[in-house]
Chain A
């Protein structure tokens, strides 16, 4: 008895000691790493850069190369941390709110919401830094970007120089067009698609004629106040009156068409819960869909899909708030090196070598040059595939094989041809109605996808949706938005 209790005592002591020892060991390791970091910091400033995108195998390798270059040029080294598209918003919310150390971070209207987080204080105000260290950015960037991405009159992010307006197109899988000798000239409205869809449905039972997912919304001539909520003003508005999109005749008409297409089997039956159509794009078993375009997008799509596609416009090219804020790099409010961060962003947006290094990886490893500014991906490029639009000025990047010589000229023309949306420059401040927004999001999610994809009868469900949204406080939010919009309009004059 006595022996066994002593034994257990020894056992417990041993356990406790190992616990303490391992804790010490861990602490020591961390400590030494910390001091090593400090020693390095005396020479170079290390910038921590959070970026959107699937984490790549060779990111550290390329960043080491980047650091070599930037260390020489501006005395900084760069460490990039990538978070996948689907997780970015939520993980960044937690990281910024808990004060995680970072210097530069990606933000956009659709990922880690730029306006909201600027208002919450996640980003550093950049106007002075831009004037002092960002002259290169100011010179190269279309002024509409910096102007359009102001929040309450101040800049909190450096927009990527890319396409400014948003334009949706009908994109067709060319093999089916050719097989049935279909003509897409004259296609523009959703109704005009019907004969094409019908041909495919009748002849190709394994092909999904109209490939959409649960986030699909028919194109309407309206400009939304908040993304994903049914509050909008008409594109050609003169009185700036906010309406509930569900109550408009245009939507009613569009939903009728969607319902017809759904019932005819032009749309996949499980569309209301579908988040991803990559099985279809991989096999090519789809006829048409509706992506947002950019100049020469057909080349880009054909290259990435591996089979030819063609497209024709579905909407006009319009400059919306959300298209201007489609991709920005901000400096974190808790950055200890804002000056160096701005210097780096300036270099990234003006230096073709650095920009292409970050974008395509190391020459000779990930890509090879086949012309003065034309690059061709090597097999290793699979280990370093970055979202080009997310990391600054895309007009510095090398052309891909098959791109036209005047690609960037095409972008400039496209940007100039865009017409501004009525709400361009107006950013709704939701902090007064955050409780209503939480309830509204729930009410909206309940009806949105089934209605918009034609999965349910619009005549029955639209009134229900309107009623539920009203119960969740839509009128309050609408009144608040109208008040802010009127104030903004008055200030514009």
Chain B
């Protein structure tokens, strides 16, 4: 009895906050928890019976782990896993470095109008679809009329057939990704930096600390928790490749698959013709499980080193 009244008292006290959480929580339940039931689809051979999804789902046969076979059955499995992990690791590391550097630079610009201009300019690519970016890149790399080959020709150098030469693509893809994402992620860091207590910097300046010193000893330590959270969140999605980037930028060129095929594009190519729902669900489940394990372990590692910085 006591516990119940305590619960209601608690509820009453926190009502405004709970109400604020409500819409988000409902959305979360509807769009994240409810669909989890659908992962069962990955153990079924989905066939429709004409009476709607639920009924078809129930009447489909269980097939055990057969739907997962296509992900691991071939030697492509190694290539797509390697590509997905390495590209995303590179994006996380380079992206974080670049975003922090940009945020610090932007925060140091005295002319606020210029700073806003740069920020907006860097933010713009974020709103562009990779389909369009793909054509930008194509105008650089086209074999006959592309900008890069025109320059090479100008200097009497051997032109390159970019879309059939895999060795350049790790750089092209990383560069494109940085160009597109850096504006957005630096805003997060910039917001944190502008919130820092100015008196810390003033005190440091009185003590004669250089700009570099201030960055190293004030800005970066204060940013640390945020960096860790952002990185942990990114690690959780390390097994999800950006489909737009890996499909549209190389223009789906077959000769580049060894360096551009990632889990998402592999699943798309494999299933676009057969349309087996069970197998797509299996791929999604596999990615979620690996992401989950990675977040939990990296959080565990962070907690061992610095308890306050860990997510949970």
Given the complex, which residues of A lie within 8 Å of B69, measured CB to CB? 435
Given the complex, which residues of A lie within 8 Å of B142, measured CB to CB? 270
In-complex Cβ contact of A269 among B49, B144, B270, B276 (8 A): B144
Asked if B251 is an interface residue, CB under 8 A from chain A, the answer is yes
Asked if A140 is an interface residue, CB under 8 A from chain B, the answer is no
Cβ B73 vs Cβ A436 within 8 A: yes
Asked if A146 is an interface residue, CB under 8 A from chain B, the answer is no
Asked if A33 is an interface residue, CB under 8 A from chain B, the answer is no
Chain B 261-299 interface residues, beta-carbon cutoff 8 Å to A: 261, 266-267, 269-277, 279
Query: Which residue of chain A is the closest to B143 with respect to CB atoms?
Result: A269
Encoded as 1 (CB less than 8 Å from any B CB) or 0, chain A from 430 to 449 comes to 11001111110111011111
CA distance A456 to B274 in the complex (A): 28
In-complex Cβ contact of A334 among B46, B50, B258 (8 A): B50
Cβ A434 vs Cβ B76 within 8 A: no
Cβ B255 vs Cβ A442 within 8 A: no
Given the complex, which residues of B lie within 8 Å of A332, measured CB to CB? 50
Asked if B194 is an interface residue, CB under 8 A from chain A, the answer is no
Cβ B74 vs Cβ A473 within 8 A: yes
CA distance A116 to B277 in the complex (A): 13
Count chain B residues whose beta carbon lies closer than 8 angstroms to a beta carbon of A: 50
Chain B 101-150 interface residues, beta-carbon cutoff 8 Å to A: 142-144
Min distance, Cβ B15 to any Cβ of chain A, angstroms: 7
Min distance, Cβ B60 to any Cβ of chain A, angstroms: 10
Asked if A19 is an interface residue, CB under 8 A from chain B, the answer is yes
Encoded as 1 (CB less than 8 Å from any A CB) or 0, chain B from 137 to 176 comes to 0000011100000000000000001011000000000000
Given the complex, which residues of A lie within 8 Å of B277, measured CB to CB? 97
Cβ A273 vs Cβ B22 within 8 A: no
Q: A269-B143, A438-B271, A445-B269 in contact; A99/B76 too (CB < 8 A)?
A: no
Q: A272-B163, A273-B163, A450-B255 in contact; A97/B272 too (CB < 8 A)?
A: no
In-complex Cβ contact of B252 among A99, A273, A471 (8 A): A273
Stretch of A5-13, A53-61, A71-79 lying at the B interface: A5-13
In-complex Cβ contact of A12 among B16, B252, B271 (8 A): B16
Cβ B51 vs Cβ A334 within 8 A: yes
Main SS class of interface, A: helix
Cβ B273 vs Cβ A270 within 8 A: no
For chains A and B in complex, what number of residue pairs have CB atoms within 8 angstroms? 138
Given the complex, which residues of B lie within 8 Å of A447, measured CB to CB? 254
Query: Which residue of chain A is the closest to B253 with respect to CB atoms?
Result: A273
Cβ A434 vs Cβ B279 within 8 A: yes
- Most interface-central of A121, A122, A434, A438 (chain B CB within 10 A): A438
Given the complex, which residues of B lie within 8 Å of A273, measured CB to CB? 163, 251-253
Asked if B52 is an interface residue, CB under 8 A from chain A, the answer is yes
Cβ B254 vs Cβ A439 within 8 A: no
In-complex Cβ contact of B270 among A97, A228, A438 (8 A): A438
Q: A121-B48, A273-B252 in contact; A97/B53 too (CB < 8 A)?
A: yes
Q: A99-B56, A334-B50, A436-B73 in contact; A9/B15 too (CB < 8 A)?
A: yes
CA distance A333 to B258 in the complex (A): 41
Given the complex, which residues of A lie within 8 Å of B274, measured CB to CB? 116, 430, 434, 437-438
Asked if B257 is an interface residue, CB under 8 A from chain A, the answer is yes
In-complex Cβ contact of A442 among B56, B253, B269 (8 A): B269
Cβ B164 vs Cβ A439 within 8 A: no
Min distance, Cβ B44 to any Cβ of chain A, angstroms: 12
Cβ A99 vs Cβ B48 within 8 A: yes
CA distance A481 to B161 in the complex (A): 38
Q: A270-B143, A442-B261 in contact; A97/B75 too (CB < 8 A)?
A: no
Query: Which residue of chain A is the closest to B66 with respect to CB atoms?
Result: A435
Min distance, Cβ A116 to any Cβ of chain B, angstroms: 7
CA distance A13 to B261 in the complex (A): 50
CA distance A110 to B252 in the complex (A): 20
Asked if B20 is an interface residue, CB under 8 A from chain A, the answer is yes
In-complex Cβ contact of B50 among A93, A124, A434, A438 (8 A): A124
Asked if B28 is an interface residue, CB under 8 A from chain A, the answer is no
Given the complex, which residues of B lie within 8 Å of A116, measured CB to CB? 274-275
Asked if B19 is an interface residue, CB under 8 A from chain A, the answer is yes
Cβ B257 vs Cβ A446 within 8 A: yes
- Most interface-central of B48, B142, B275 (chain A CB within 10 A): B275
Min distance, Cβ B149 to any Cβ of chain A, angstroms: 10
Asked if A96 is an interface residue, CB under 8 A from chain B, the answer is yes
Asked if A113 is an interface residue, CB under 8 A from chain B, the answer is yes
Asked if B195 is an interface residue, CB under 8 A from chain A, the answer is no
Min distance, Cβ A391 to any Cβ of chain B, angstroms: 24
Given the complex, which residues of A lie within 8 Å of B20, measured CB to CB? 12
Query: Which residue of chain A is the closest to B254 with respect to CB atoms?
Result: A446
Min distance, Cβ A5 to any Cβ of chain B, angstroms: 7
Min distance, Cβ A356 to any Cβ of chain B, angstroms: 33
Given the complex, which residues of A lie within 8 Å of B37, measured CB to CB? none
In-complex Cβ contact of A96 among B48, B67, B266 (8 A): B48
Given the complex, which residues of A lie within 8 Å of B73, measured CB to CB? 435-436, 439, 473
Min distance, Cβ B275 to any Cβ of chain A, angstroms: 4
Given the complex, which residues of B lie within 8 Å of A430, measured CB to CB? 274
Given the complex, which residues of A lie within 8 Å of B82, measured CB to CB? none
CA distance A13 to B20 in the complex (A): 9
Chain B 162-218 interface residues, beta-carbon cutoff 8 Å to A: 163-164
Chain A 42-92 interface residues, beta-carbon cutoff 8 Å to B: 89-90
Would you give 6 A-B contacts (Cβ < 8 Å), ordered by A? Answer: A12-B19, A121-B48, A437-B274, A438-B276, A442-B266, A446-B261
Q: Top 7 closest A-B pairs, CB basis? A: A438-B270, A333-B50, A273-B251, A99-B52, A435-B70, A438-B70, A93-B275
**Interface residues in chain B, defined as those with a beta carbon under 8 Å from any beta carbon in chain A:** 15-16, 19-20, 22-23, 45-53, 56, 66-67, 69-70, 73-76, 142-144, 161, 163-164, 251-255, 257-258, 261, 266-267, 269-277, 279
Q: A334-B52, A434-B276 are in contact. List 9 more A-B contacts (CB 8 A).
A: A9-B16, A90-B272, A269-B144, A272-B253, A438-B279, A439-B270, A450-B164, A456-B164, A456-B255
